[in-house]
Structure 1
Amino acid sequence: MSIRLGDIAPDFTQQSTAGEIKFHEWLGDSWGVLFSHPKDFTPVCTTELGATAKLAEEFKKRNVKAIAVSVDPLESHNGWVGDINETQNTKVNFPILADPDKKVANLYDMIHPNANDTLTVRSLFVIDPKKKVRLTITYPASTGRNFDEVLRVIDSLQLTDKHSVATPANWKQGDDVIIVPSLQDPELIKQKFPKGFKAVKPYLRITPQPDK
């Protein structure tokens, strides 16, 4: 099945390097990053899981839980973790789902037959505390993901959920933001944006990033 923005992330129960995972229960009231890799003991995947482990504190600050998945069995994951820790100078601190029956891969449409009919592509899903899918990104097997971009989007989503703003191209934490066009009440705008705004066009109103 195809997963679209706003869909409820499919729930599942599956074994992992951290024991049995009941996905929705495991997420609780946290945000989640669920990402697939094609195969254990491969070079790009090793760097990606190492990079994710090194971002543990950044994820924690944002109330985000990370979880990886591939169609390899649990024994393979357990053996590979040692290689990741050794070569990436880190310690894997998040679960890796074992999916040899391809249950999770099929639920999240992670196998793209025209790329590879047996292995998962590099799919990534950001899921909010209401279990809604808020971001999907898919990379080819040869290209490692940009996890700085994943954090940037999570920052944007969390900011825009709290304030009536959108984030412009190349925005990063602390940059100016845009007041959403649907917000037109002058008194409400003044209340929500005490720092003021600059109207470049009636539909393009730029304001300093609101305080958290």
Structure 2
Amino acid sequence: MIDDTLDRPAAPVSNPGPLLIGSPAPRFSTRTTMGDRSLDDYRGRWLVFFSHPADFTPVCTSEFIAFSKLYPEFRALDCDLLALSVDSLFSHIAWVRSIKERFGVAVPFPITEDPSMAIAAAYGMIHPDAHDASTVRATFVIDPDGIIRAMVWYPMSIGRSVAEIFRLVQALQTSDKEAASTPEGWHPGDDLIEPAPLTIEGAEEPSPSADAPDWYYRVRKS
């Protein structure tokens, strides 16, 4: 008897339209290397949801090794990782086994299958003029309420910086907690930027830091 569940597509994806920062992340449910998953499973936690062009490719392998090594640090931020490509579940499993055997690294997070390309299409991971079904290197940071807080895109030939994605999650969480912005290259412990005053009276108020160069650039300790 043929088991037609082996190639079953992902459940329908809710897609309200073009995705922007601040948009609700399209909901989905499908199979992964660690069992069935849905976007709703990650409510209440941060999520880095990222696509890779294909299994068994060198740049993707380097990224997965980096994500795996930094996984405990992501988890310490209450942030999960979830990967996706349009390859089959069996291809994902074989690739994960190969990474462990050849590089000594166990991939500790699930990889989503998407043979129907429904999820990739909902998230814009496949260019409409692409010559094949490969996804670009898209990364979405989704907050505990299911809202897209950041999107980062890389071409197929360029590996993304996992350390920068980790820093991005740290910055988003700190900005939310402190009601402040983070300057270029910010890392935990660095100064934060206060919201700029919106009135003359506010601009004339003294800065909480003596290091502020002017009224529109006020910093404070994090």
Whether contact under 8 Å (2:82, 2:111) holds in the other structure is yes
Percent identity reads 40
Pick one of 79, 87, 105 that aligns with 2:120: 105
Q: Which residue of 1 aligns with 2:211?
A: 198
CA distance in 2, matches of 1:109, 1:2: 8
Which ranges of 4 or more aligned residues in structure 1 deviate by more than 2 Å? 86-89, 113-117, 182-186, 195-199
Structure 2 residue 14 is the aligned partner of structure 1 residue 2: no
Greater Rg by CA: 2
CA distance in 2, matches of 1:127, 1:163: 19
CA distance in 2, matches of 1:197, 1:115: 53
* Partner AA of 1:64 in structure 2: C
Structure 2 residue 35 is the aligned partner of structure 1 residue 22: no
Which has the larger displacement, 106-115 or 118-127? 106-115
- State the TM-score, normalizing by the size of structure 1: 0.89
CA distance in 2, matches of 1:80, 1:168: 39
- State the TM-score, normalizing by the size of structure 2: 0.85
* Partner AA of 2:215 in structure 1: P
* Partner AA of 2:184 in structure 1: A
More strand by share: 1
Query: Unmatched 5+ residue regions in structure 2?
Result: 1-16
Structure 2 residue 60 is the aligned partner of structure 1 residue 41: no
The structural deviation recorded for 1:3 is 1.4
Q: Which residue of 2 aligns with 1:71?
A: 86
Q: Which residue of 2 aligns with 1:174?
A: 189
Per-residue CA distance 1:87-129 (angstroms, 9 max, x = gap)? 3321111010000010110110100144544210000000000
Q: Secondary structure at the match of 1:55?
A: helix
How many residue pairs align between the two structures? 203
Q: Secondary structure at the match of 1:8?
A: coil
Q: Which residue of 2 aligns with 1:12?
A: 28
Query: Unmatched 5+ residue regions in structure 1?
Result: none
The structural deviation recorded for 1:171 is 1.3
CA distance in 1, matches of 2:104, 2:38: 30
Structure 2 residue 89 is the aligned partner of structure 1 residue 89: no
CA distance in 2, matches of 1:129, 1:179: 24
RMSD: 2.1
Q: Secondary structure at the match of 1:57?
A: helix
Whether contact under 8 Å (2:59, 2:159) holds in the other structure is yes
